[in-house]
Structure 1
Amino acid sequence: MTECWLDLAENEPFGLATLPYGVIAHGNGQPQPAVRIGDVAVPLRSATAALLPGCAELFAGACLDAFLAAGPAVWSEVRAAVTSWLGDERHRPVIEPLLIPLTDARTVLPFTVADYVDFYASENHASNVGRIFRPGSEPLTPNWKHLPIGYHGRAGTVVVSGTDITRPQGQRKVGEAIEFGPSLRLDIEAEVGFVVGVGSTLGSSVPIASFADHVFGVVLLNDWSARDLQAWEYVPLGPFLGKSFATSISGWITPLSALAHARVPAVERNPAPLPYLDDTGDSWNLALELTVSLNGEVLSRPPFATMYWTAAQMLAHLTVNGASLRTGDLYGSGTVSGPDPDQRGSLLELSWGGAEPFTLSDGSPRCFLDNGDEVVITAAAPGPGGGRVTIDEVRGRIAGAD
């Protein structure tokens, strides 16, 4: 594997095998696209102007939209070029003076979110939620193993990691009374998000085999959820105000090409999916290992490899009716939960709907989020040569309601 001429730690989580893309604001300048290596960023506007002028126009703006829309051939060309710039000493005199320390910059939302869809693809999570809300009944609805269930969210409230989350207000049912006020059961959902680069035309569909032709990369995603608002409003049309107030994503997008060593076989499915969802021999199941922390204390470690439906199946289902894709479409996996209690990706599950509070290290019992709480979700995956690829964290702190 190519070695970087930068002085990186032996186990650097953002080494040459990762190279995620983001947008940074530095000083008083316009936000600019960049690639992360270690604790510095390579500004792509100036780097491509000097060393890859044919792609310089893609990074002239303040977001990654043009680059995302350029497609897989260009994605590969730019990744190969950046790898060469950082791995070949001959490029050091040009690249090193351009590097921006991340301590001197802040990340901004890296792309324009066109549409946002959230799925419900973990059998463990869906079964837990079914048991919590429908005790004594079948935990899964009859359609669950036939199609990836999802809902359309609100693109305008997707925010970058580090943005404070205002506690939402709305209606909630307390006993027989209907009250209005701040959510008292504010929750998280630890998810993986997928960023669409290349769109599709209305009336067409995207088969599983074309997944990597359209999806550029992954982020971590926290779909904040007001469980009390959601419980009152969701019948019969599903999530609305209990979800639409905020969704946080990583500031750096890890390209699919960095996750080649993370692909693993799909879980066993019964019944067999319909042909358009059949991913036999072409599974995009990924061995991502998530960690959920509350105020610096690890609560759970959800394994993404246990997901029932993969990102390629979600995209195939999302478009099978002819719905078009646009550059910047974002879709989430739904809460990632494993089979064990310490692998649950939501506080709803960890506290079993509030009936079984979990205890923090200071001895305090908790069920849902308090004002001032900070949630951080991280993830890593197998990389080349037995190494690891890190997915950029998603972080958010709860502020009081306005």
Structure 2
Amino acid sequence: MIDRTHDAGRRSFVASATGHADFPIQNLPLGIFSAAGGARRAGVAIGDMILDLAAALEAGLLSGVAAEAVAATGDGTLNGLFALGAAPRQALRAQVADLLAEGADAQAPLLHNSGNCTLHLPARIGDYTDFFAGIQHATNVGALFRPDNPLLPNYKHVPIGYHGRASSIVPSGTALRRPNGQRKPAAEAEPSFGPSRNLDYELELGIWIGPGNALGEPIPIGQAAGHIAGYGLLNDWSARDIQGWEYQPLGPFLAKNFGSTLSPWVITPEAMAPFRVAQPARPEGDPKPMDYLWDEADQAGGALGLELEVWLTVPGAEPFRLSQGDAQGLYWTPAQMVAHHACGGCNLQPGDLFGTGTISTATGYGSLLEITQGGRKPLALPSGATRRFLEDGDTITLRARARREGFAGIGFGDCTGTILAMT
């Protein structure tokens, strides 16, 4: 999948793209934007600008299946483009790379300054599933509540997940209100109702589904990667105190459905091609995945080589980096999640979204629950403030970057959300 669009020597006529931390010409992520007073349109991020794909189509600058891909976004979403699969997406990438190349500045009128645009959710999300694939996070959290048995017996056999709420997923930059719910700390005899007192973030990757499958027809593991349209950053906010009281026996409910924050740009599988890495080898004694979850090619290159960061900004202070880790904390590959989700015949659809589950590593935790050991050891910030969990006015920013020698590094763009008080 590595081709001329990945050439580290390629340059764009868009000056801000050269050396851009997230969106050089080698990335070309897809998204939905609107200019002031305008309708939602498909676009490609390039440096600090956005290429208007609909305008490029109208100008006759796209042809063949690439033109069909953009025409499929006429409803202001990427669902139709996702449904077409890899070939049209790859053709679009190749043609857009040429439109934005150094010397092609005649296309400048097709660009919008991203600072003057509104970014929307890339697709209409039909269903949202959150996995629990970050083994270090699962172990850390399990140890808080079950010190002698952190991981339950099924964890290393089956990709654990639950069905979440799609309607409350919002794009980066959207503020969310602290949720109400029932809470019952161990020190209180009876439950009470009110705003969450232990609100937390969760560092996850989002996985966008492309072509779906018919009801009753599983997706073989060897074909599962072809059903992935791209990736993003996901903050699946969690009200820990509400969840601790409500989750037995059926799992998260109000603790999760008040909101999740998603980065607005879809980083395509093609952009990630140079940054695919082998899935970390399982420790000796761990069970080998069952046949329906095992594919040699997926094990050899189905994981994502990503550096991950979490930043906290409290009112009146400079941003503070809470953690720095990588995506190697995932025990299951994206393809394994797809194959498992569909193994019973569940019909995935274009625009469905998966969350990987919280990603923690030995060098970086993906939640305050882990950083503060359940709130028992408050975090001291350089400003002099402390945090057990998030307070009103706090802002969390997630970042992801991919680097490899010989290739231009790319990023996912910020995934940012601020917590407001419940009114």
1:23 aligns with 2:37: no
Q: 2: distance between equivalents of 1:242 and 1:288?
A: 28
Match of 1:244 in 2: 257
1:160 aligns with 2:176: no
The one of 96, 101, 112 aligned to 2:124 = 112
Q: CA deviation at 1:59?
A: 3.0
Give the letter for the 1:321 counterpart: G
Match of 1:277 in 2: 293
Structure 2 gap ranges (5+): 1-6, 314-318
Q: 2: distance between equivalents of 1:325 and 1:226?
A: 28
Query: For the Cα contact (< 8 Å) 1:383–1:389, is it kept in 2?
Result: no
Match of 1:327 in 2: 350
**1:335-376 deviation line (CA, Å, top 9, x unaligned):** 000024xx0000000001011111111232211000000000
Partner SS state of residue 156, structure 2: coil
**1:68-91 deviation line (CA, Å, top 9, x unaligned):** 1111111011111101111163x4
Q: 2: distance between equivalents of 1:384 and 1:213?
A: 26
The one of 360, 366, 369 aligned to 2:390 = 369
9 and 31 in structure 1: CA distance in 2 versus 1, 3 angstrom threshold: closer
The one of 316, 322, 340 aligned to 1:317 = 340
228 and 141 in structure 1: CA distance in 2 versus 1, 3 angstrom threshold: same
85 and 383 in structure 1: CA distance in 2 versus 1, 3 angstrom threshold: farther
Q: 2: distance between equivalents of 1:208 and 1:332?
A: 18
Match of 2:316 in 1: none
400 and 144 in structure 1: CA distance in 2 versus 1, 3 angstrom threshold: same
Query: For the Cα contact (< 8 Å) 1:277–1:316, is it kept in 2?
Result: yes
Match of 1:346 in 2: 367
Q: 1: distance between equivalents of 2:48 and 2:220?
A: 38
Match of 2:115 in 1: 103
**1:376-395 → structure 2 map (5 Å cutoff):** 376-382=397-403, 385-395=406-416
Q: 2: distance between equivalents of 1:274 and 1:326?
A: 25
**1:3-402 → structure 2 map (5 Å cutoff):** 3-8=11-16, 10-13=18-21, 14-49=23-58, 50-53=60-63, 54-55=67-68, 56-87=70-101, 89=103, 91-93=104-106, 95-135=107-147, 137-174=148-185, 175-269=188-282, 270-283=286-299, 284-295=302-313, 296-340=319-363, 343-382=364-403, 385-402=406-423
Query: For the Cα contact (< 8 Å) 1:198–1:214, is it kept in 2?
Result: yes
Q: 2: distance between equivalents of 1:70 and 1:92?
A: 30
Partner SS state of residue 15, structure 1: coil
Q: CA deviation at 1:5?
A: 2.1
Partner SS state of residue 139, structure 1: coil
Give the letter for the 1:376 counterpart: T
Give runs of ≥4 in structure 1 deviating > 4 Å: none
Query: For the Cα contact (< 8 Å) 1:264–1:305, is it kept in 2?
Result: no
Query: For the Cα contact (< 8 Å) 2:131–2:356, is it kept in 1?
Result: yes
Q: TM-score, normalised by structure 2?
A: 0.91
Q: TM-score, normalised by structure 1?
A: 0.96
Q: 1: distance between equivalents of 2:241 and 2:292?
A: 36
Match of 2:4 in 1: none
Q: 2: distance between equivalents of 1:42 and 1:264?
A: 30
Structure 1 gap ranges (5+): none
Q: 1: distance between equivalents of 2:254 and 2:14?
A: 47
Q: 2: distance between equivalents of 1:306 and 1:128?
A: 12
Query: For the Cα contact (< 8 Å) 1:258–1:383, is it kept in 2?
Result: no
